[in-house]
């Protein structure tokens, strides 16, 4: 099939079609859904277990919008710095084999195990980092959200914990990254998720969206990894519950219906830690005590929901780059923080069966957001304790 593009050129079969990976009777470059918000994106983070620095980065393709973009988000102390890159995507999908946006690229060295992440110097920041997964990837349960009859999110994701080595350069300072100290988590997700420019809303949602409670917790211990993902509606109804433990020998345990208690800073909805009680297949309790060392609001320069400065998939022009910096104590920034999801450097201590020594220490991502009302947590509306 040959289909004319906007300027008369024919856009169809591309380099991806040389491989036996088709899932639909159409070229691979064509999304299986005509939904403008179809996306394919990766997320990665890195830290040195001190809480002094947290690096978050990612890259996304939006074939129905014709765009691709990447971002680097770095928090050190009270400063959060973002670099954004954007460009047009190859309509034949060729740039999905060589994932690159301007000076930013991700090289797949060994699928599902090793990556190389590079950003040549852009606005004073450069990266050259190598990732190695410590355990097999975890395929999470599908994530679906609806408002009325409309599907606003329908995505699949895999996650992994691992280690990093290489260098980070910031305004002439070189930060050495050693795999014995530096750890992180990553995920890749694809499907339908709000992306690009805002579109007319149509009839107001009925019932109105009152908020959501969200917890995502991928943790790396020496002998195993835990990946937990939970979402609840304002009344506490759990719409997504997935918690697994993966061992080096390939065993995977489901850890039931975790009981979660979040500890919020007095008078706020900002989490300081959590106690998660899981249940093994043998009916025994596995308890995870999690604490936050440093929080990064990913809607402040990271492009995630509610970011007023930059959003994933929005067309900014060919070869777009910019740098933004935020004083995290500035009132205008402080006021934004409670209205989005925050990614924390997470330290965890595990108690229970299969943890090795009782009190085993783990590290990873403690991602949490309580948006709007959440009855079990005592938040009554969008403005309660913000």
pLDDT of 10 reads 56
Full-prediction pTM beyond 0.85?
A: yes
State both tokens at 109.
Answer: 């060295």
CA 285 to chain centre: 28
Dihedral (CA of 201, 86, 60, 173) sign:
negative
pLDDT of 141 reads 96
State both tokens at 92.
Answer: 């034949």
User: What is d(CA 271, CA 369) in angstroms, rounded to the nearest whole number?
Assistant: 9
User: What is d(CA 316, CA 313) in angstroms, rounded to the nearest whole number?
Assistant: 9
State both tokens at 112.
Answer: 């599902």
Render pLDDT for 10-41 as a digit per residue (tens, 0 to 9): 568 999 899 999 999 999 999 999 999 999 99
The third-level CATH classification (topology) of the domain covering 38-195+210-377 is AttH-like fold (2.40.370)
Flag residues of the chain having pLDDT under 70.
1-11
pLDDT of 196 reads 96
Render pLDDT for 106-133 as a digit per residue (tens, 0 to 9): 999 999 999 999 999 999 999 999 999 9
User: What is d(CA 213, CA 133) in angstroms, rounded to the nearest whole number?
Assistant: 29
Identify whether the C-beta of residue 56 lies closer than 8 Å to the C-beta of residue 200: no
Nearest to 344 by CA among 86, 30, 47: 47
Identify whether the C-beta of residue 131 lies closer than 8 Å to the C-beta of residue 109: no
pLDDT of 9 reads 55
pLDDT of 150 reads 87
User: What is d(CA 349, CA 34) in angstroms, rounded to the nearest whole number?
Assistant: 45
First to last CA, the chain: 54
State both tokens at 248.
Answer: 């080096």
User: What is d(CA 197, CA 206) in angstroms, rounded to the nearest whole number?
Assistant: 23
Q: Which residue ranges make up each domain of the chain?
A: 38-195+210-377
Identify whether the C-beta of residue 38 lies closer than 8 Å to the C-beta of residue 118: no
User: What is d(CA 93, CA 13) in angstroms, rounded to the nearest whole number?
Assistant: 9
Alpha-carbon Rg for the chain in angstroms: 21
Identify whether the C-beta of residue 226 lies closer than 8 Å to the C-beta of residue 288: yes
pLDDT of 385 reads 94
Identify whether the C-beta of residue 131 lies closer than 8 Å to the C-beta of residue 111: no
């Amino acid at each position: 099939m040959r289909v004319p593009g906007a300027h008369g050129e024919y856009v169809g079969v591309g380099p991806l079609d040389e491989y036996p990976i088709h899932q639909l009777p159409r070229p691979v470059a064509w999304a299986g859904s005509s939904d403008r918000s179809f996306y394919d994106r990766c997320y990665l983070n890195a830290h040195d277990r001190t809480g002094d620095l947290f690096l978050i980065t990612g890259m996304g393709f939006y074939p129905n919008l014709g765009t691709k973009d990447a971002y680097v988000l770095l928090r050190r102390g009270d400063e959060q710095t973002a670099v954004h890159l954007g460009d047009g995507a190859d309509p034949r999908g060729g740039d999905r084999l060589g994932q690159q946006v301007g000076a930013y690229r991700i090289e797949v060295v060994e699928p599902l195990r090793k990556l190389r992440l590079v950003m040549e110097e852009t606005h004073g920041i450069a990266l050259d980092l190598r990732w190695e997964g410590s355990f097999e990837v975890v395929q999470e349960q599908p994530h679906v959200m609806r408002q009325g009859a409309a599907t606003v999110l329908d995505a699949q994701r895999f996650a992994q914990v691992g280690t990093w080595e290489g260098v980070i350069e910031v305004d002439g300072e070189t930060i050495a990254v050693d795999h014995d100290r530096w750890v992180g988590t990553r995920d890749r997700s694809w499907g339908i998720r709000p992306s690009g420019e805002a579109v007319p809303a149509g009839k107001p949602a009925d019932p109105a969206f009152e908020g959501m409670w969200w917890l995502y917790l991928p943790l790396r211990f020496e002998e195993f990894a835990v990946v937990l993902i939970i979402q609840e509606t304002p009344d506490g109804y759990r719409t997504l519950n997935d918690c697994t433990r993966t061992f080096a020998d390939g065993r995977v345990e489901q850890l039931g219906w975790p009981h979660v208690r979040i500890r919020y800073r007095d008078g706020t909805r900002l989490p300081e830690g959590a106690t998660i009680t899981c249940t093994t297949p043998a009916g025994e309790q596995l308890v995870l005590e999690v604490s936050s060392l440093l929080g990064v609001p990913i809607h402040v320069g990271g492009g995630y929901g509610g970011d007023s400065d930059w959003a994933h998939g929005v067309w900014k022009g060919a070869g777009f780059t910019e740098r933004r910096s935020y004083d995290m104590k500035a009132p205008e920034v402080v006021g934004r923080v409670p209205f989005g999801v925050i990614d924390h450097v997470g330290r965890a201590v595990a108690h229970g069966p299969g943890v090795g020594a009782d009190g085993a220490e783990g590290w990873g991502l403690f991602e949490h957001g309580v948006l709007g009302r959440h009855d079990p947590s005592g938040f009554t509306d969008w403005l309660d304790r913000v």
